[in-house]
Chains A and B, each alone.
Chain A
Amino acid sequence: MLAIEHADLAIAENEFVTLVGRSGCGKSTLLRLMAGLVPCTTGRITVGDRLVEGPSRDVGLMFQRPALMPWRTVIDNVLLPADFLGLDRRATRIEAERLLALVGLEGFEGRRPWELSGGMQQRVALCRSLVYRPRVLLMDEPFAALDALTREEMSLELQRIWIEHRITIVFVTHSIAEAVILSDRVVVITPRPGRISRVIDVPVPRPRSFSGGADIEAITHANDEVRQLLYAPREEIGSVA
């Protein structure tokens, strides 16, 4: 079956791009293609000037579930990439501790994942995907399993970290508000087969907030535009594309 039909997308370095679309529209497949976990049948994906042919240390991945290993402590979970990629464990540990402190998990290094709340676990997962400094971070609905309040908190925290670290992020979500708050550009994908319907710029300075603040108009406008594309009947989208 054809999962994705038409997806031409150039993402700038250090850009924050979000893919939104209904369930089964191929967002996750697109992410897995970029991660090199699934091979492309046609077309090609490049990171920098390297063709993606398999997993690489340039590209990190984060899922809806934290995917922490219960047999490892928090700090050892964050250090997992060092073990797999053969990085210097001591240098990575310093970075891991810094990141854990950055997300407010100082002092939790020796704890086990199950002692942490869902939001804290996902913060650990975030540290793990940043610790080896991949050039691109792919996030597949990372906050979807959290409660609504924690979810907003985490979005703002991600924004803060992204402002400080400037890394290229490709983010998948179902939440329009989350997409607009976080992204430089929102890519709307329509299903069967998955195709990019339109790319919407969000020209709002950061840090942004869910209440909109001074830029409430621009944010509301972007929200509406994304929503219209997502809810529009298929034929109409076809004519737009």
Chain B
Amino acid sequence: MSTQSGHPEGEDFVGATVEQPTPAAAVVPGRRRTGRRLVSWGAPAATVLALLVLWHLATVIFDWPVWLVPTPFDVAQSLWDYRGLLPEQFWITFLETIAGFGLAVVIGIPVAVAIASSRLLERSIYPILLGLNAVPKIAIAPILILWMGFGYAPKIVVSFLLCAFPIVISTATGLKSTPAELVELSRSLCASRSSLFVRVRFPAAMPQIFVGLKVAISLAVIGAVIGEFVGSSGGLGWVIVNTNANLNTPLAFAAMVLLGVMSVGLFYALVLLEKLFVPWAEHMQDD
């Protein structure tokens, strides 16, 4: 009553009026959606473009010779000139990467399961794993080539060695961090150890497993290239090593661009797989 006497338009005072949505306001959601799409594609494209411009400006300003730092145009030219060679080498490195990554998944996940299922196994496996991971892969590569020859095998193994570790660690972590209520609930329903694992622990670990896979995939590419550096007759790593001999730096850059494309492409392939098969990953917390 007293507020009304002070303020003739009482409802305005308590702010209870609702404005009618204007036609302009109704347009906003659609505009906002296209805006968001523009940002999600436009922002990375603009960043890449800006970096290319900076790169080009730097080569012009400092007047670097092409064998030292080629311009983006030199690299593009090289990509075009070697359009017969590069796809073939791309394919070789790609296959080595996929094989090494696949091996890491096939071996790494069961190892993680073993680690997560028994304290004794965890204690006995972990130190070995840490030790293996500490060995520089570039040091093992020549030995692997000595053992396995110049074929695909040593590259696949180096790739495997480099990317298995994050897969094991993240899978084991995921398997061990099942929400406590889910475990208690399942136990109260007389779940056996194996069905608890299959129906609860493993699916609950999936988001975490994908974190490991995403870290691992770029390492798999690097592993394959390390293998090729040390001794090979094909692959993008082999291309880069050979350009050193004749100072064909634009070609080396072109090969690196392709390695980048491979790495980014594989990463987003995993993101897509996660969206398809683990659509609930982002909802794991609010169950």
List the interface of chain A (C-beta within 8 A of B). 32, 35-37, 55-57, 59-61, 63, 65-71, 80-81, 83-85, 112-114, 132
Across-interface contacts of B184 in A (CB, < 8 A): 32, 37, 61, 63
Flag the segment in B52-60, B103-111, B186-194, B243-251 that touches A. Answer: B186-194
The residue of chain A having its C-beta at the shortest distance from the C-beta of B188 within the complex is: A61
Of the candidates A65, A68, A84, A113, the one whose C-beta lies within 8 Å of that of B191 is A84
A37-B184, A67-B287 known; A57 vs B189 contact (CB < 8 Å): yes
A82 to B286 CA separation, bound complex (whole angstroms): 24
B182 to A71, Cβ gap below 8 A?
A: no
Interface SS, A side = loop
Interface residues on B, range: 20 to 34
24 A-B residue pairings within 8 Å (CB atoms):
A37-B184, A37-B188, A55-B189, A55-B190, A57-B190, A59-B188, A61-B184, A61-B188, A63-B181, A66-B287, A69-B182, A69-B204, A69-B287, A70-B280, A71-B203, A71-B280, A80-B189, A81-B189, A84-B186, A85-B189, A112-B279, A112-B283, A113-B287, A132-B189
CB-based contact A84/B203 at 8 Å: no
The residue among B179, B185, B203 with the most chain A CB atoms within 10 A of its own CB is B185
A84 touches B199 (CB 8 A): yes
- A-binding residues in B (CB < 8 A): 179, 181-182, 184-191, 195, 199-200, 203-204, 206, 278-280, 283-284, 286-287
**CB nearest neighbor in B for A67:** B181
A46 shortest CB reach to chain B, Å: 17
* Known contacts A70-B280, A84-B199, A112-B280: A65-B181 contact under CB 8 Å: yes
Interchain CA distance A84-B190 in the complex, whole Å: 7
Chain B contacts of A69 at CB under 8 A? 182, 200, 203-204, 287
Bound-complex Cα distance A71 to B178 (A)? 13
Residue numbers in A under 8 Å from B199 (CB-CB): 80, 83-84
With A55-B190, A83-B199, A113-B287 already in contact, the answer to whether A67 and B185 are too (CB < 8 A) is yes
**Chain A neighbourhood of B203, CB < 8 A:** 69, 71
Contact A68 B287 (CB under 8 A): yes
Please report the C-alpha to C-alpha distance between residue A209 and residue B102 in the assembled complex, in whole angstroms: 61
Docked pose: A81 CA to B195 CA in angstroms: 12
